[in-house]
């Protein structure tokens, strides 16, 4: 019978931190080799997806019920720039799975390198989003150049503006949380605490891919649909 492996703290001598090592985990008839941690992460992600569903359905109803969605003076959203941010997130998802592959192979250096690249991708996305909102980087190609706020897309002024900032901002918070989460995993990888525990990298990856998956839907529904 095949068995997955999870880590559990073992009793440590008095005065010492718990020793983490791997123990066999029996294969479950319903969930196979999925660890309790992975099942818990999926339950969290499904509940989080319901939060995004509420925002996107609310956006759809407000937009579908309005005769004028974008009022005069409000800027259009920049599709090309956001497509670049989407591509950046997709790239970071690839680096995340490469980190998991390296963790499975027991290669600490490569795991750390791919994780660092994933974090950089997330930071790049966040910087891009702030630039889109406020025009932080003059001369960097985007539309509009002064940032959406500077061009007149003010939260609270219209349903168009409010739903845009609410949904993309909520997603941005998830990216920020993902960057913090991945940074802690990276620190633990570098310190050797996750040696032989690729499952911890996979769990972080699940969250990161979920953030990417949600953005794919947000990009289409908020930016692309005319």
Partner 1 sequence: MASHATTRAYLGVFAALAVLTVLEVAAVKTGLPKRTLVLLLVSLAVTKAVLVALFFMHLRWETRVLRWMVAVPLATPAVYGVVLIAATIAKRMPA
Scanning 96-104, 131-139, 153-161, 164-172 for contacts with partner 1 by CB under 8 A, the matching segment is 96-104
Among 19, 39, 76, 177, binds partner 1 (CB under 8 A): 39
- Calculate Rg over the CA atoms of the chain: 21
Do residues 135 and 146 make contact, with C-beta atoms less than 8 angstroms apart? Answer: yes
- Six-digit token pair at 129? 């989003």
Q: Mark the segment that binds partner 1 (CB under 8 A) among 28-36, 108-116, 156-164, 188-196.
A: 28-36
Which of 99, 101, 127, 102 lies closest to 115, judged by CA? 99
* Dihedrals phi, psi of 115, to nearest 5 degrees: -65, -40
Decide: is 42 part of the binding site for partner 1 (CB under 8 A). Answer: yes
160 binds partner 1 (CB under 8 A): no
> Which residue number, 74 or 212, has a Cβ lying nearer to partner 1?
212
Q: Which of 116, 126, 127, 221 binds partner 1 (CB under 8 A)?
A: 221
Q: Exposed, middle or buried by CB within 10 Å (0-12, 13-18, 19+), for 110?
A: middle
Per CB under 8 A, the list member of 20, 37, 69, 94 interacting with partner 1 is 94
Residue 148 C-alpha from the chain's centroid:
23
Q: Does residue 224 interact with partner 1 by CB under 8 A?
A: yes
Q: Applying CB under 8 A, does 154 fall inside the site for partner 1?
A: no
Indicate whether 23 belongs to the interface with partner 1 (CB under 8 A): no
> Using the rule CB under 8 A, which residue among 67, 68, 72, 156 binds partner 1?
67
Residue 58, classified by CB atoms within 10 Å of its CB into exposed (0-12), middle (13-18) or buried (19+), is middle
Give every CB contact of residue 65 below 8 A, 6+ residues apart in sequence.
Answer: none
Find the angle CA(125)-CA(176)-CA(136) to the nearest 5 degrees: 45
Alpha carbons 13 and 78: distance in angstroms, whole number: 59
Binding mask 165-204 toward partner 1 (x if CB under 8 A, else -) reads -------------------------------------x--
Residues binding partner 1 (CB under 8 A): 4, 30-34, 39, 42, 45-46, 49-50, 53-54, 56-57, 60-61, 64-67, 79-80, 83, 86-87, 90-91, 93-94, 96-98, 100-101, 104, 202, 205-206, 209-210, 212-213, 216-217, 219-221, 224-226
């Amino acid at each position: 019978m095949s068995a997955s492996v999870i880590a559990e703290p073992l009793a440590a001598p008095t005065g010492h931190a718990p020793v983490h090592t791997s123990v066999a985990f029996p294969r479950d008839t319903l969930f196979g080799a999925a660890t309790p941690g992975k099942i818990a992460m999926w339950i969290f992600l499904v509940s989080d997806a319901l939060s995004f569903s509420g925002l996107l359905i609310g956006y759809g109803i407000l937009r579908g019920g309005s005769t004028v969605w974008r009022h005069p003076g409000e800027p259009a959203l920049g599709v090309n720039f956001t497509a670049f941010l989407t591509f950046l997130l997709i790239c970071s998802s690839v680096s995340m799975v490469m980190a998991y592959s390296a963790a499975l192979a027991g290669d600490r250096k490569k795991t750390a390198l791919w994780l660092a690249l994933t974090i950089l991708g997330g930071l790049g996305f966040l910087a891009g989003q702030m630039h889109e909102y406020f025009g932080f980087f003059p001369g960097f190609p985007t539309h509009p150049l002064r940032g959406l706020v500077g061009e007149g897309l003010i939260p609270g002024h219209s349903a168009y503006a409010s739903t845009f900032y609410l949904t993309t901002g909520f997603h941005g918070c998830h990216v920020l949380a993902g960057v913090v989460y991945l940074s802690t995993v990276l620190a633990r990888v570098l310190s050797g605490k996750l040696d032989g525990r690729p499952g911890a990298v996979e769990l972080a990856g699940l969250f990161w891919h979920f953030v990417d998956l949600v953005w794919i839907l947000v990009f289409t529904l908020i930016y692309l649909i005319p």
